[in-house]
């Protein structure tokens, strides 16, 4: 779990503000759900057998003896809120976004933390391929406006409850005589969810999975048609993608469209985001049949891909270097008046030499410095120095607020 220190904060603000703008343009409204949920929500929605639920959740008993979990992802909480507040009673699609921390007890490494942050979008109550395409266009657009190049959308369809059983069967037959070479986890996966063997990162398992049957051979006509439409709409929107018939996602609840946003720039943790359709989730949680689709992007991984911009490290608009008691009193009043107009103004916290004050103004990267001593106060004007050009002009002190606030300093 990492502290976010002031120098990094502007990049995070940029990511969040840019995301909010993009989400608004695509018609998404904000929802904020608690970080703590009942453990059973995640067990039921993500799946008991997934790595997240079986190995990675921060779960504890609270003082009332209830088992609670710090959310490992956002979809389950959003789905719970959707049901609890009967949002399904009003016509869909419901387009929701949320931004915040997630918690997984994973082995920490570059790009993988135990508290990380996601930008999460969900479209609930719409089964059509347009929602799938819209979400992908949104993700693609967001990456572009963030300046994150070299991310590729990788796309697959995981079929539906109609056609997936035959694919599972085909996988089981394929893996049957290869069980001895699969890792222990994959042997468990074979029993519970054989699709996830395709997702294993162990070399031996990867090698065996390379020869496995493809899910596309099992798609029912409806799944094929849905996937064709998604691809057609992405083509219309000018969004490029790669198809990966072996792409499966870690969570059990996905149906049909599944995708990842991958980059070659992050080493082993190559996914910036991912998502997919989860048509059965709301019903599995006890609600009415409600098709839905969503994605999550990891803010830490986005931050690794975004260069710092000079404007994020800009300093105060004005530093008032005041010398002596009376000038300091005047400077304090002027600084407060300008700050109330929205300008970032600094002065030193104690009466130190002009040299020390100039050093501090320089270090803070102040745009301008006003030097005020007893003489200047008496004369009613003081030199204002532009730190970039070195130019100096005399500023009438009684006009400081009107002149500097109006100019944005």
Residues at the contact surface with ligand AMP, assessed by CB under 6 A: 73, 104, 106, 111-113, 116, 118, 250, 271-274, 296, 298, 300-301
Shortest distance, position 215 Cβ to ligand AMP, whole Å = 19
CA distance 151 to 271: 9
Token representation of residue 137: 């266009």
- Which is nearer to ligand AMP, 11 or 178 (by Cβ)? 11
- Angle among Cα 282, 283, 289 to the nearest 5 degrees reads 95
Token representation of residue 83: 């049901």
- Which is nearer to ligand AMP, 28 or 116 (by Cβ)? 116
Secondary structure class of 380 (helix, strand, coil) = coil
Distances (CA, A) of 105 to 58, 70, 312, 359: 7, 10, 32, 45
- Which is nearer to ligand AMP, 73 or 346 (by Cβ)? 73
Shortest distance, position 151 Cβ to ligand AMP, whole Å = 10
- Which is nearer to ligand AMP, 86 or 144 (by Cβ)? 144
Query: Roughly what angle, to the nearest 10 degrees, separates helices 129-145 and 221-236?
Result: 40
Shortest distance, position 234 Cβ to ligand AMP, whole Å = 20
Shortest distance, position 299 Cβ to ligand AMP, whole Å = 8
- Which is nearer to ligand AMP, 270 or 326 (by Cβ)? 270
Beta strand spans in 264-405 (E): 271-277, 292-298, 318-322, 345-347, 368-372, 381-386, 392-396
Secondary structure class of 370 (helix, strand, coil) = strand
Shortest distance, position 101 Cβ to ligand AMP, whole Å = 10
- Which is nearer to ligand AMP, 148 or 367 (by Cβ)? 148
- Which is nearer to ligand AMP, 59 or 314 (by Cβ)? 59
Beta carbons of 31 and 78 less than 8 angstroms apart: yes
- Which is nearer to ligand AMP, 15 or 320 (by Cβ)? 15
Token representation of residue 11: 């990049």
Q: Which residue is nearest to ligand AMP (CB)?
A: 298
CA distance 227 to 321: 65
Shortest distance, position 2 Cβ to ligand AMP, whole Å = 10
Q: What is the dihedral of CA 90, 295, 100, 83, to 10 degrees?
A: 30
- Which is nearer to ligand AMP, 143 or 320 (by Cβ)? 143
CA distance 409 to 406: 7
My answer on whether omega of the bond before 93 falls inside 30° of 0, hence cis, is yes
Shortest distance, position 291 Cβ to ligand AMP, whole Å = 19
261, β-bridge pairs: 153, 273
CA distance 120 to 276: 12
Shortest distance, position 47 Cβ to ligand AMP, whole Å = 13
Shortest distance, position 56 Cβ to ligand AMP, whole Å = 8
């Amino acid at each position: 779990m990492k502290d976010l220190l002031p120098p990094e904060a502007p990049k995070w603000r940029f990511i969040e503000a840019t995301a909010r703008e993009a989400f608004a343009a695509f018609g998404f409204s904000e929802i904020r759900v608690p970080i703590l949920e009942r453990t059973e929500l995640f067990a039921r929605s993500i799946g008991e057998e997934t790595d997240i639920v079986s190995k990675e959740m921060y779960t504890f008993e609270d003082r009332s003896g209830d088992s609670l979990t710090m959310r490992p992802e956002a979809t389950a909480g959003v789905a719970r809120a959707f049901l609890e507040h009967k949002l399904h009673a009003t016509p869909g699609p419901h387009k929701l976004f949320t931004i915040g921390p997630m918690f997984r007890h994973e082995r920490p490494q570059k790009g993988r933390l135990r508290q990380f942050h996601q930008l999460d979008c969900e479209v609930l109550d719409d089964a059509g391929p347009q929602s799938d395409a819209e979400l992908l266009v949104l993700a693609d657009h967001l990456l572009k406006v963030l300046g994150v190049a070299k991310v590729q959308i990788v796309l697959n369809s995981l079929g539906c409850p109609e056609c997936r059983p035959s694919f599972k069967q085909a996988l089981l037959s394929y893996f049957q005589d290869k069980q001895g070479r699969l890792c222990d986890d994959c042997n468990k996966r074979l029993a519970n969810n054989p699709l996830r063997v395709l997702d294993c990162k162990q070399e031996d398992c990867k090698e065996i999975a390379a020869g496995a049957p493809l899910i596309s051979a099992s798609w029912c006509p409806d799944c094929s048609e849905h996937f064709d439409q998604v691809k057609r709409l992405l083509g219309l929107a000018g969004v490029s993608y790669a198809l990966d018939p072996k792409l499966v996602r870690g969570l059990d609840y996905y149906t049909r469209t599944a995708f990842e946003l991958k980059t070659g720039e992050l080493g082993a943790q190559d996914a910036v985001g991912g998502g997919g359709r989860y048509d059965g989730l709301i019903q599995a949680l006890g609600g009415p049949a409600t098709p839905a689709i969503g994605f999550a992007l990891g803010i830490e991984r986005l931050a690794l891909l975004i260069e710092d911009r000079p404007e994020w490290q800009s300093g105060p608009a004005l530093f008032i270097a005041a010398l002596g008691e009376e000038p300091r009193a005047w400077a304090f009043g002027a600084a407060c008046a300008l700050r109330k107009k929205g300008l970032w103004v600094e002065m030193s916290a104690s009466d130190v030499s002009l040299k020390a004050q100039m050093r501090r103004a320089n270090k803070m990267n102040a745009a301008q410095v006003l030097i005020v001593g007893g003489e200047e106060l008496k004369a009613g004007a003081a030199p204002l120095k532009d730190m970039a050009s070195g130019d100096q002009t005399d500023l009438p002190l009684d006009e400081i607020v009107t002149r500097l606030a109006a100019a944005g300093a």
